[in-house]
Amino acid sequence: MAFVITIAQQKGGAGKTTIAASLAAVFAARSRVAVLDIDPQHSLARWHTLRAARKGAAPVGFSDVSGWRLAREIDRLRGLNDVLIVDSPPQLDTDARLAIRAADLVLVPLQPSPPDFWAAEGTMKLAAAEKRPARILLNRAPAGGKLRLAVEAAIAEAGYPVFAGTLGNRVGFATAFAQGLGITETAPRSTAGREFGSIVAELERLMR
Ligand SMILES: Nc1ncnc2c1ncn2[C@@H]1O[C@H](COP(=O)(O)OP(=O)(O)O)[C@@H](O)[C@H]1O
Ligand SMILES: [Mg+2]
């Protein structure tokens, strides 16, 4: 039975698809992993097509079934894989709700700015209503500064779980994505690669 990670955040551009791709690449190296793209923009589908065409890239299963067949599709993929990563659209529509309901962990990428935090609150509340564990991941976070501190304070005040590790603004993510790869495949020893590695280590502790 797969551990289901749903990446959700109603703000577009938060890093959902980027993180989904790099996570899938990590798990592909050691287990059966599939990605389920329920965002009508289908960017993860494009990534997967690029990956499937690459000789030697560890295989990642793919589906983009959504709508009334979604819940069943998640059950099917759960039975076939060790890890299932669901990339969701930038709104809390019915599909996103179903994907959150099915999640063993909801991962909520958040760029440290007030509008992104407000958007993340909607996702965190929905996860709580569905009784699913959710955790914020600070993405494109500056090393410090007022904005980051303010958002971290707001997260702490709300009592939301948050990854200790953060991801900076690193062009390497887009470079990897454009090749159908993940950051730990293209640049494991870069700052981005190391940051992503510590997020994965935290994630694996949550998956045990
Ligand atoms: N940590 C990061 N550093 C630099 N660019 C990033 C980072 N995370 C995401 N991006 C870029 O931000 C844009 C939006 O990311 P994307 O994953 O498509 O967001 P979402 O799926 O939430 O809409 C993309 O161009 C992506 O390459
Ligand atoms: Mg996306």
Provide the pLDDT for residue 73: 98
Provide the pLDDT for residue 119: 96
Provide the pLDDT for residue 182: 98
* Segments in the chain forming alpha helices (H): 16-28, 43-52, 70-80, 94-101, 114-129, 146-158, 172-178, 183-186, 191-207
Distance in angstroms (rounded) separating the CA atoms of residues 84 and 59:
13
Question: Which domains does the chain show, CATH number per domain?
Answer: 3-207 (3.40.50.300)
| Separation of CA 88 and ligand 1 centre (Å) | 14
Provide the pLDDT for residue 82: 98
Distances (CA, A) of 158 to 14, 47, 88, 124, 202: 20, 35, 24, 10, 21
Provide the pLDDT for residue 124: 98
Pocket residues for ligand 1 (CB within 6 Å)?
12-18, 43, 90, 139-140, 167, 169-170, 173-174, 177
In contact, 169 and 109? CB cutoff 8 Å: no
Provide the pLDDT for residue 53: 98
Query: Pocket of ligand 1, candidates 173, 177, 194, 199: which has the most ligand atoms within 8 Å of its Cβ, to mutate?
Result: 173
- Reported as type and span, the H/E element at residue 1 is none
Q: At what angle do helices 70-80 and 94-101 cross, to 10 degrees?
A: 30
The ligand whose atoms approach the alpha carbon of 170 most closely is 1
pLDDT by residue, tens only, the chain of 208 residues: 999 999 999 999 999 999 999 999 999 999 999 999 999 999 999 999 999 999 999 999 999 999 999 999 999 999 999 999 999 999 999 999 999 999 999 999 999 999 999 999 999 999 999 999 999 999 999 999 999 999 999 999 999 999 999 999 999 999 999 999 999 999 999 999 999 999 999 999 999 9
